[in-house]
Amino acid sequence: MYTKYNQLRENIASLKSMVVAFSGGVDSTFLLKVASDVLGVEAIGVTVATPYIASWEIADAKRIAIEIGASHEVLALPMLESIYSNPQNRCYLCKYTLFKHLLAFAIQKEMAYVAEGSNVDDSFEHRPGRVALEALSIKTPMLEVGLTKAEIRELSRELGLSTWDKPSYACLLTRFPYDKPLSFQAMEKVAMAEAWMIAKGYACMRVRFDEGMIRLEMSRKDKLRLLQDSEYDTIVAYLKELGFLHVTLDLVQER
């Protein structure tokens, strides 16, 4: 693990300057921290803000960037017309467009490369967006040295990063079925519902939406805890107040 970490630092140093796609998650925070330590002001974290990224995630990214002492900017982009219908290739379309904007940003700032936080574990999952990253020659420093998710979490813990045990999140598009028109109002409600659940102590969960109904997807342990939660009625009442027709608990899928 430490050999990989040292190699990562050496590889980043050789790049001279970089823009880091920064979401505030475990991987991108670790990458930005290392890049900032190695390159100083020649490393900039950029968080892309779109209508399908929850506002609380953008705020969290800003907070974490300050926490680790990294240069940071937010790049606001509109909803992509090509993903209004939430097509099955949404990840490719999104990644390709967003990283093209990051490449343009890097040119504007005279930064040599754009990098993102993929790790070895990601290569074993279905990740259509990776095709877009490869097409655009986006750097993946942690994948290149063979760092796993577990190793990144452990190194993050040793570096004192608050994100070392942070649950993984994904954009709001993943909460909706493929090939159905997206609603800004529904995305906002889902974001509010997830923020509410996280505030109530259910950090590793998803709110899946379809035809006015939501399914709470969480671990078996959290499902049992929710049913016995003293605030159960308050939690359900708030979710109903958001305007969902039905609030259900997914008994099959787990986070």
Q: Is 137 helix (H, G, I), strand (E, B) or coil?
A: coil
Beta strands in the chain (DSSP E): 18-21, 43-49, 71-76, 113-115, 205-210, 213-218, 246-249
In angstroms, the CA 135 to CA 154 distance is 31
22 C-beta neighbours (distance < 10 Å), count: 28
Judge whether 132 and 103 are in contact, CB under 8 Å. Answer: no
pLDDT tens-place string over residues 232-247: 999 999 999 999 999 9
The predicted pLDDT at position 35 comes to 98
Contacts 24+ apart (CB under 8 A), 181-187: 181/84, 181/85, 181/86, 182/52, 182/83, 182/84, 182/85, 182/86, 184/51, 184/79, 187/51, 187/52
Place of tokens 């574990």: 121
In angstroms, the CA 86 to CA 91 distance is 9
pLDDT tens-place string over residues 109-129: 999 999 999 999 887 666 677
The predicted pLDDT at position 51 comes to 93
Q: Is the pLDDT of residue 167 over 70?
A: yes
The predicted pLDDT at position 169 comes to 86
Q: What amino acid is encoded at 187 in this protein? A: M
Q: Which residues pair with 68 in a beta bridge?
A: none
Distance (Å) of CA 232 to CA 59, 199, 238: 27, 13, 10
95 C-beta neighbours (distance < 10 Å), count: 22
Across the range 37-43, mean pLDDT stands at 97
The predicted pLDDT at position 126 comes to 64
Query: Which structure tokens are listed for 199?
Result: 């505030």
Average pLDDT over the chain, rounded to whole? 94
The predicted pLDDT at position 125 comes to 67
The predicted pLDDT at position 132 comes to 87
Q: Is the pLDDT of residue 133 over 70?
A: yes
Residue 130 pLDDT class (50, 70, 90 cuts): confident
